[in-house]
């Protein structure tokens, strides 16, 4: 579905393999971008901390989840608000990513766990796939 492919070159990746992956991605009609081997690569490294900051804003009581979603759709032009996207991706998936990053760098404020996400995952409220996350689904 996505037009983007993140192609990661590690120190063990040969130049031939790297170039083959770029060519293969283009042959599939995708747009490859390159990145070093860093947690989350490009998209998730930027996206997941953004999603978690929205959760923290909500946890502090600074704004409702509905207002945060509306603000990001209308103010930033995003097709989904962060809570809609969290429910779409799955709260268990987001928690799994955050837990891994937090384990690697416990001091990074961007990688701190969220009490509300942890609670919802423990309650099996994982988002759209279970019918309830930050929002309820039929």
Task: Give the mean pLDDT of 54-83.
Answer: 98
Confidence of residue 102 (pLDDT cuts 50, 70, 90): very high
Task: Give the mean pLDDT of 58-87.
Answer: 98
Q: What is the pLDDT of residues 22-45, one digit of tens each?
A: 999 999 999 999 999 999 999 999
Task: Give the mean pLDDT of 12-28.
Answer: 97
Q: What is the pLDDT of residues 111-125, one digit of tens each?
A: 999 999 999 999 999
CA–CA gap between residue 21 and residue 7 (Å, rounded): 7
Residue pair 22/32 in contact (Cβ under 8 Å)? The answer is: yes
**So where are the chain's domains?**
4-36, 42-130
Residue pair 49/20 in contact (Cβ under 8 Å)? The answer is: no
**CATH code of domain 42-130:** 1.10.1040.10
Query: Cβ-count burial of 116 within 10 angstroms (0-12 exposed, 13-18 middle, 19+ buried)?
Result: middle
Confidence of residue 89 (pLDDT cuts 50, 70, 90): very high
Chain center to CA of 4: 15
């Amino acid at each position: 579905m996505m037009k983007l492919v993140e192609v990661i070159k590690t120190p063990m990746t040969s130049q031939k393999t790297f170039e083959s992956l770029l060519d293969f991605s283009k042959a599939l009609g995708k747009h490859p971008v390159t990145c070093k081997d860093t947690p989350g690569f490009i998209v998730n490294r930027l996206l997941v901390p953004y999603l978690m900051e929205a959760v923290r804003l909500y946890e502090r009581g600074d704004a409702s989840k509905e207002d945060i979603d509306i603000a990001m759709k209308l103010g930033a032009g995003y097709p989904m608000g962060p809570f809609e996207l969290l429910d779409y991706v799955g709260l268990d998936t987001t928690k799994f990513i955050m837990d891994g990053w937090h384990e690697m760098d416990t001091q990074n404020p961007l990688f701190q766990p969220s009490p509300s996400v942890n609670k919802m995952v423990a309650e099996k409220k994982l988002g759209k796939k279970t019918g309830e996350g930050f929002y309820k689904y039929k």
